[in-house]
């Protein structure tokens, strides 16, 4: 047994095999294995683990716990009670293994899908036309109340997110065709944490890990010599990875195992039935919960001999010739680029030799090395097609020469086609682009022009910020496939149907911006997929502060629509804010869609604002910079919104 856990854990295990229709055989085995890890590896006292299990007739179990019936009402009531029992010292870990479902219906003239977990009493003999399901809006509300009270919440779901056309044996999904009659639900109240950059990041929510993407199925792996009992493919893979680790599981982060989890699950799955796990939340969070610190994710890296694969490509700034520094699992935050600490933390340096839209290959430029567990990459010099072009006003030849070493091109102010402008006035440098620093808008950042190296650091941060702003111009395979609208969200009672198809008005237009909204007024983001392909959609916010935030993601079937609420609680709109020193701010929402099921754009997030980059600069030590298959399609749209007081 490993050292006693800190913080205090509360674990909930739910495994259901004994369904009246389409029974399963591996779900109770799954939670038996997770139970063993919790007790034997993490040292969690059995009394702090609650188990709901419905094994098949005659099935053996290795559990050391008493089991409750996983009916809909029992699960609802328990989660509701748990929200009143936990406190800030508790880390709650919930593991569900069973069927999942998706109900497709039309609401307010829109085709929408509602996801649900399937309790053991789903099939209702008294009312066969209506099933007992634990719907997403109910579960989200229950989990949100737990997350508000607990120190941390992790939810792992080994089930399907949606029904599938191609059904296979052991597939953990059921298809529900009818429209359910659901009770109305009021918009939850309560104060929400505000963010000076305007909107809230999806990473603020609890951690959610799912066995597959929304357009895929989660399968059961057949027994073999190594695994004599049937298990979910996801759970089996997770247990294998945990079993091979000799480090304390209390400190294990999702980032440490995410690449192995994805690769090994792909290897276990049938090539014709892909299953890609989804990790929603910040991968720096601990696998079993507990205190965690923000962590720079960087690029996902893998190695094949002397060649390296990087999980990003030309769409996000990795073209041929780009250089990527390699770091290990530590430190959590990348050191300031080009500092002595930065060079000391690097394991190696890669140069991209072949780049595609969403991935690239690279070779080492400073000797051979082996990637450690948790290795990450960071762009240190872009390839020539991705160099940021900045107008220097007035032109400053020495500064232009210094910027060249950073992969930034400084040009005279009259040069056309620049992406940013750096204007010197009264000893200050002012950074602007096509929105900020023009037309009466304040600059993105202002800072002393006399500090050597500060302009380079600020422009390097802007170059990373610009990678996201470039996406609408680069993702044109499915031009016009995404229709994005921001809807005004009034404070009123709202039905569950309206959560995904609200009949709200659009925010008012505001030339030259797309929309305007007053600080504190709520809105939601409605995204319609007009293409013939299901799309995995990401919503990013290029905030006026200089941060890039991941607001959320969704799988949207062809011809369907999705409404994105603040990720912390379904039914809570986005509440924009304006920093105290400003009267208004312009946010740029970038909505990206792709046909690829295994993409994750979290590496585009920037936690630091321009102000934070500037404030940290005096502590910097400068060094010397080293010079039928699935068709991949991408689409992206930009929506501008002016937030005013």
Range scoring the smallest mean pLDDT among 368-372, 500-504, 628-632: 628-632
Neighbours of 515 (CB within 10 A): 21
Burial degree of 410 (CB within 10 A; 0-12, 13-18, 19+): buried
Q: Hey, what are 154's tokens? A: 């992790």
Nearest to 111 by CA among 561, 545, 634: 561
Q: How high does pLDDT run on average in the chain? A: 85
Q: Where are the alpha helices (DSSP H) in 27-171?
A: 27-36, 72-85, 136-149
Q: Hey, what are 219's tokens? A: 């399968």
Has residue 627 got a pLDDT over 50? Answer: no
Q: What is the largest CA-CA distance in the chain?
A: 83
Q: What is the pLDDT of residue 428?
A: 95
With contact defined as beta carbons under 8 Å apart, do 155 and 144 qualify?
no
Q: Which residues make beta-bridge pairs with 561?
A: 528
| Residue 535 to residues 484, 490, 530, 556, Cα–Cα distance (Å) | 14, 29, 10, 5
| Residue 72 to residues 130, 153, 246, 516, Cα–Cα distance (Å) | 13, 21, 38, 43
One-character DSSP codes across 12-56: EEEEE---SSS--SSHHHHHHHHHHIIIIIS---GGGEEEEEEPP
Q: Hey, what are 90's tokens? A: 């508790």
Of all residues in the chain, the percent with pLDDT exceeding 90 is: 55
The H or E element spanning position 263 is helix 254-268
Q: What is the pLDDT of residue 373?
A: 79
Q: What is the pLDDT of residue 597?
A: 78
Has residue 163 got a pLDDT over 60? Answer: no
- Higher pLDDT pick, 322 / 284: 322
Rounded CA-CA distance 144/129 in Å is: 30
Rounded CA-CA distance 124/127 in Å is: 5
Q: What does the pLDDT look like over 233-290, one tens digit per residue?
A: 999 999 999 999 988 899 898 888 888 898 888 888 766 677 888 887 777 789 998 8
Rounded CA-CA distance 275/264 in Å is: 10
Rounded CA-CA distance 545/533 in Å is: 35
Q: Hey, what are 363's tokens? A: 């070779």
Instruction: Give the chain's length.
Output: 645
Q: Which residues make beta-bridge pairs with 208?
A: 155, 280
Q: What is the pLDDT of residue 170?
A: 54
Nearest to 596 by CA among 551, 635, 638, 548: 635
Coil, helix or strand at residue 400: helix
Q: Is the peptide bond before 133 cis (omega within 30 degrees of 0)?
A: no
Q: What does the pLDDT look like over 339-349, one tens digit per residue?
A: 889 999 999 99
User: What contacts 296, CB < 8 A, 6 or more positions away?
Assistant: 332, 333, 334, 376, 378, 607
Q: What is the pLDDT of residue 110?
A: 64
Rounded CA-CA distance 279/548 in Å is: 19
Q: What is the pLDDT of residue 116?
A: 87
With contact defined as beta carbons under 8 Å apart, do 644 and 519 qualify?
yes
Rounded CA-CA distance 110/257 in Å is: 39
Residues 23-45 have a mean pLDDT of 95
With contact defined as beta carbons under 8 Å apart, do 455 and 429 qualify?
yes
The H or E element spanning position 177 is none
Neighbours of 620 (CB within 10 A): 20
The distance of Cα 240 from the centroid of its chain, to the nearest Å, equals 24
Q: Hey, what are 452's tokens? A: 């050597």
DSSP letter at 243 equals H
Nearest to 553 by CA among 592, 499, 596, 498: 592
User: What contacts 202, CB < 8 A, 6 or more positions away?
Assistant: 280, 281, 549, 550, 551, 552, 553, 567
Pairing of strands 173-176, 299-304: unpaired
Q: Is the peptide bond before 7 cis (omega within 30 degrees of 0)?
A: yes
Coil, helix or strand at residue 245: coil
Rounded CA-CA distance 119/107 in Å is: 25
With contact defined as beta carbons under 8 Å apart, do 551 and 538 qualify?
no
Q: What is the pLDDT of residue 200?
A: 52
Q: Which residues make beta-bridge pairs with 506?
A: 487
Has residue 410 got a pLDDT over 90? Answer: yes
Has residue 181 got a pLDDT over 60? Answer: no
User: Where do we find the tokens 């470039």?
Assistant: 470
Q: What is the pLDDT of residue 212?
A: 86
Q: What does the pLDDT look like over 184-242, one tens digit per residue?
A: 443 333 322 222 334 554 445 578 898 987 767 888 888 888 899 999 999 999 999 99
User: What contacts 268, CB < 8 A, 6 or more positions away?
Assistant: 221, 233, 236, 237
Under the banding of pLDDT at 50, 70 and 90, the label for residue 492 is low
- Global pTM reads 0.80
Rounded CA-CA distance 153/147 in Å is: 6
């Amino acid at each position: 047994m490993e050292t006693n856990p800190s913080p205090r854990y509360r674990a909930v295990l739910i495994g259901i095999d004994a369904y009246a229709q389409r029974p399963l055989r591996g779900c109770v085995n799954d939670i038996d294995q997770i139970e063993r890890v919790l007790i034997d590896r993490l040292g969690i006292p059995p009394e702090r683990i609650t188990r709901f299990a419905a094994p098949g007739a005659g099935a053996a179990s290795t559990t050391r716990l008493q089991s409750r019936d996983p009916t809909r009402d029992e699960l609802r009531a328990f989660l509701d009670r748990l929200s009143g029992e936990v406190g800030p010292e508790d880390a709650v870990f919930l593991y569900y293994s069973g069927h999942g479902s998706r109900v497709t219906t039309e609401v307010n003239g829109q085709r929408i899908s509602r996801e649900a977990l399937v309790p053991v009493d789903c099939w209702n003999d008294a009312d066969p036309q209506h099933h007992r399901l634990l719907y997403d809006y109910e579960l989200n509300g229950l989990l949100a109340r737990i997350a508000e009270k607990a120190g941390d919440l992790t939810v792992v779901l080994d089930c399907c997110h949606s029904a599938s056309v191609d059904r296979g044996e052991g597939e953990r999904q059921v298809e529900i065709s009818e429209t359910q009659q659901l009770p109305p639900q009021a918009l939850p109240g309560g104060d929400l944490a505000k963010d000076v950059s305007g909107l809230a990041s999806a990473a603020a929510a609890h951690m959610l890990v799912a066995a597959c993407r929304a357009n895929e199925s989660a399968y059961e792996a057949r027994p073999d010599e190594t695994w004599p009992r049937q298990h979910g493919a996801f759970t089996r893979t997770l247990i294998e990875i945990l079993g091979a680790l000799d480090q304390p599981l209390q400190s294990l982060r999702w980032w440490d195992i995410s690449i192995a989890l994805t690769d090994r699950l792909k290897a276990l799955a049938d090539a014709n039935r892909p299953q890609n796990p989804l990790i929603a939340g910040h991968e720096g969070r601990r696998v079993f919960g507990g205190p965690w610190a923000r962590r720079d994710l960087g690029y996902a890296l893998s190695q094949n001999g002397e060649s390296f694969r990087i999980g990003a490509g030309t769409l996000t700034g990795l073209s041929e010739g780009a250089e990527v520094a390699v770091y290990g699992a530590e430190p959590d935050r990348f050191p300031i680029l080009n500092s002595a600490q930065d060079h000391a933390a690097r394991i190696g340096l890669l140069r991209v030799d072949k780049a595609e839209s969403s991935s690239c290959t690279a070779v080492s430029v400073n000797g051979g090395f082996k990637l450690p567990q948790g290795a990450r990459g960071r762009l240190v010099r872009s390839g020539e097609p991705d160099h940021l072009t900045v107008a220097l006003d007035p032109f400053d030849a020495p500064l232009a020469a210094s910027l060249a070493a950073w992969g930034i091109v400084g040009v005279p102010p009259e040069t056309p086609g620049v992406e940013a402008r750096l204007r010197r006035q009264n000893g200050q440098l002012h950074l602007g682009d096509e929105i900020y620093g023009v037309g009466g808008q304040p600059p993105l950042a202002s800072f002393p022009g006399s500090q050597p190296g500060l302009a380079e650091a600020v422009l390097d941060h802007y170059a990373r910020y610009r990678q996201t702003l470039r996406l609408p111009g680069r993702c044109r395979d499915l031009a016009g496939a995404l229709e994005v609208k921001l809807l005004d969200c009034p404070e009123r009672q709202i039905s569950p149907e309206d959560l995904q198809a609200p009949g709200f008005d659009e925010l008012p237009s505001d030339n030259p911006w797309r929309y305007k909204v007053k600080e504190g007024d709520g809105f939601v983001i409605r995204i319609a997929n007009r293409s013939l392909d299901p799309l995995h959609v990401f919503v990013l916010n290029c905030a006026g502060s200089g941060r890039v935030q991941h607001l959320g993601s969704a799988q949207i079937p062809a011809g369907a629509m999705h409404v994105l609420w603040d990720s912390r609680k379904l039914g809570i709109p986005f509440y924009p804010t304006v920093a105290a020193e400003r009267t208004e701010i312009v946010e740029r929402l970038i909505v990206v869609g792709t046909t690829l099921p295994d993409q994750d754009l979290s590496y585009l997030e920037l936690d630091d604002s321009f102000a934070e980059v500037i404030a940290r600069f005096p502590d910097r030590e400068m060094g010397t910079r080293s010079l039928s298959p699935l068709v991949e399609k991408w689409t992206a749209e930009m929506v501008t919104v002016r937030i005013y007081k």
